[in-house]
Structure 1
């Protein structure tokens, strides 16, 4: 926290609406220490929309125009890019002409350490990610998977996860056309030489501008196991896995991906749950499919190893699992192997990329608390925070401050990954302030159009957020008035104080996280 310096009067967070993606604008207003003249600082965190969003290009252009109208044509003091998923960075490309037309788009740009060309760990990560992306694009090509956005999301042209990654294609040299590389270079160019920083967990720094905020870097982790830990163990998140739910079906239904990407528990395979609408004939066919493709294979030794012996048996004889003795296991596959491999690799890459999210906690003045922006951090990223040691400079001794204290002071939470099942750690949310307000950048109906299984937010996550915030959860797809009405029904006094801090517009909703009247504290 800063003990001296310019006086901060308000800190407002603006969340842009109508998109399944992240774009936030933090505005800090106050007075300069020298002459008490009014001053403002502006921070943009991400700028993207899910591939295939109808009118997504014009929507992002309207967002960026609004951003620079809000800054009154001045450069943003800071642009933060959390990770390279399409729904977090595509706006920088879709509105490229607007950014490029500014005399200077931003004074500084912050990336995660994973993008640092001078960092050996980062370069190894980029090498491995590049190989995986090449394989994914090649599999898409081989299996004729359409990864460009289509007019009809129901066609599953995005195969769910590819919508986050963006279009997949290979150039003439069989290298992936990785659109994020162009966007990142544009951002470096727009900010100018020497204006880019790559942040690692434990760093403590101040946001640029006359009204800087002390900032703590929590993630992404450098540990490879944490970077690849997306689900954790039972109880880590509000997602009910098979270990926490006796009805394994509920766990699968909670997965925010299309069925092709959803895992099945052993219980689900052994004991398929019949549909109430199944006819006798449908059930018979379903039983046959289950026996043939999911029952564990065991060798039948009743008549020896000669396949002819089995072929001569009558219809009453069945080998274990109703599966011929010498029939290759591959014959049991229900899908082309390329598509199956594509789905599995896409899921791993999606989760791993989410765990590379740059996670920041911004201190509010006057010991008024903290704002947490978790991007799309999943379990491994969250868990890594609790071992972070904060230092004001790389060579300075570790501060006494612990992550648990930052969480306990968190009054504002940008919900991870649109409220997804594994992007809010149970331990983390429960530790946050009882005066918490949250924002979820989501479009739940558009998510369902990608797949009926996409739940953004996940019901259990939403329930936990509602309880923790006393219903003060602002969403990109719900009018603020509707949220205020829910709060009012539970606590009219709380609703009045909440409403007084909200600004609502067709394009955005904003919340004043910090406000101090002359002579008062927040």
Structure 2
């Protein structure tokens, strides 16, 4: 990885369904290496069985065991779980960067972590209670919880039950991976706030870093799905307003008599009262018991004790909505960074898994640049590389046009940068669709990227030799791309030359 002076090489590791990027910038005296995330979903295949061990070994060989900047965009399993003490032992990191949400002093960050812990506890409790009555649903919830708990084992209800309490208290495998990375540096982690400053990349001061997200705004962090006109056609469940009330219900401690119920005590009859009060017991069995109940004189009259009148554990099925919402909350707290190759030069956009509220915040205000300003719309227009958000999912890339108020795909790679605009999608489609049921990448987003990029779209599960020019691309731009790109079983390399 020998980057051109003033330029960069981006290595996208084919680790499976997850993110791991090593960037090499032309530095002041030597290449500057930046690692962005290092994780994968257990069970998602790497290309031709490349392993996390292979990936980390390559990172260590390229950097000679010295990374200048290591960045974690957010604490999800598929972004951090390949960071283990064994793999990273002896590796040195000069600086570690996290989002401001990891700050140990920030009051909003503390409140968000409290909410996060409550939601993890609720989901683990729901998964435990569903394990006997609906094992398939319990496993589905476990797979979603696994993003929050982390580790390199595939999710099962048993594993989630054992790890859930520790995760809720901040002892997840994800946190341990982040702690391993902290331990590789002698400096405290740098917690990055958006729009605060333009950061000169240490060792490569011509490279400037713009932190666009996550927003320091709780409402925007909870704004997960595209608004009208902002989303690509999609399918599937999303989190909704049911999440907070569900979490409160399943987390009841029993002191108010509401334990395990979606309703308050004044709208409930506790089982203890039914068992000790003969009149109540008879009434309950007649109308809500397990028997068929009496049928009236009309043929179409419903039995008085029909099963549909009892919700039993059915309300716990809302746990999937909470799990999705919680996962999206974490995604939306992604650290979003734009790397500028020289003042006014090309831009590499790494969006993590940022979702609607994060995107909407990017252009909230310009960046101060000495006596002048840098407008985000103009900055994004110079984007030549877009790390596609959240494996190409429906709510992590917005659509619109260049005049839209909210940043979207049309803002990226404008004018003379359009002929070089390239995307990277960290997705294994067959695994995501077949095993996890995730629509990654969304067909409409992949199609839009192929058109905008003229076919210059890297995807984890697609060999470099199978990439082909789209009708929108000129022969000249495609040939230039071919000269800058290469790939093998372990990674793709892409060279970006300076202006």
- Compute the displacement of 1:51 (Å): 3.1
Residue 127 in structure 1 maps to residue 114 in structure 2: yes
Aligned ranges 1:324-363 → 2 under 5 Å = 331=310, 336-338=314-316, 340-363=317-340
Residue 101 in structure 1 maps to residue 90 in structure 2: yes
Query: Could you give the per-residue CA deviations for residues 39-87 of structure 1, whole angstroms, max 9, x where no partner exists?
Result: 110000000001333589971121111011111x141110010000100
CA separation of 1:46/1:18 partners in 2, compared to 1, >3 Å: closer, same or farther? Answer: closer
Aligned residues: 421
CA distance in 2, matches of 1:214, 1:172: 39
Whether the 8 Å CA contact 1:40–1:211 is kept in 2: the answer is no
Match of 2:11 in 1: 14
Query: Could you give the per-residue CA deviations for residues 98-149 of structure 1, whole angstroms, max 9, x where no partner exists?
Result: 31222x2x10010000000011111111111112112222222232389xxx
Alignment partner of 1:374 out of 351, 354, 362: 351
CA distance in 2, matches of 1:115, 1:479: 36
- Compute the displacement of 1:449 (Å): 2.5
CA distance in 1, matches of 2:376, 2:18: 27
CA distance in 2, matches of 1:343, 1:443: 23
TM-score (norm 1): 0.73
Match of 1:401 in 2: 374
Whether the 8 Å CA contact 1:134–1:176 is kept in 2: the answer is no
Whether the 8 Å CA contact 2:39–2:82 is kept in 1: the answer is yes
CA distance in 2, matches of 1:157, 1:230: 21
TM-score (norm 2): 0.76
Match of 2:399 in 1: 426
Aligned ranges 1:384-463 → 2 under 5 Å = 384-391=361-368, 400-427=373-400, 428-433=408-413, 434-435=418-419, 436-451=421-436, 453-463=437-447
Match of 1:288 in 2: none
- Compute the displacement of 1:379 (Å): 0.6
- Compute the displacement of 1:502 (Å): 0.4
- Compute the displacement of 1:329 (Å): 6.4
Alignment partner of 2:181 out of 187, 192, 202: 187
Whether the 8 Å CA contact 2:16–2:40 is kept in 1: the answer is yes
Residue 232 in structure 1 maps to residue 223 in structure 2: no
Alignment partner of 2:493 out of 504, 510, 515: 510
Match of 1:283 in 2: none
Residue 465 in structure 1 maps to residue 449 in structure 2: yes
Aligned ranges 1:201-240 → 2 under 5 Å = 201-203=194-196, 204-210=198-204, 213-238=207-232, 240=233
Query: Could you give the per-residue CA deviations for residues 248-286 of structure 1, whole angstroms, max 9, x where no partner exists?
Result: xxx5xx22x6xxx799xxxxxxxxxxxxxxxxxxxxxxx
Gaps of 5+ in 1: 1-5, 33-38, 147-152, 241-250, 264-305, 516-521
- Compute the displacement of 1:8 (Å): 2.9
Worse overlay, 58-67 or 417-426: 58-67
CA separation of 1:55/1:101 partners in 2, compared to 1, >3 Å: closer, same or farther? Answer: farther
Q: CA RMSD in A?
A: 3.4
Whether the 8 Å CA contact 1:218–1:388 is kept in 2: the answer is no
CA separation of 1:405/1:324 partners in 2, compared to 1, >3 Å: closer, same or farther? Answer: farther
- Compute the displacement of 1:234 (Å): 2.1
Aligned ranges 1:235-274 → 2 under 5 Å = 235-238=229-232, 240=233, 251=234, 254-255=235-236
- Compute the displacement of 1:408 (Å): 1.2
Whether the 8 Å CA contact 2:74–2:334 is kept in 1: the answer is yes
CA separation of 1:352/1:173 partners in 2, compared to 1, >3 Å: closer, same or farther? Answer: closer
CA distance in 1, matches of 2:132, 2:320: 10
Residue 66 in structure 1 maps to residue 58 in structure 2: yes
Whether the 8 Å CA contact 1:49–1:86 is kept in 2: the answer is yes
- Compute the displacement of 1:447 (Å): 0.7
Match of 1:479 in 2: 463
Gaps of 5+ in 2: 241-285, 288-292, 401-407
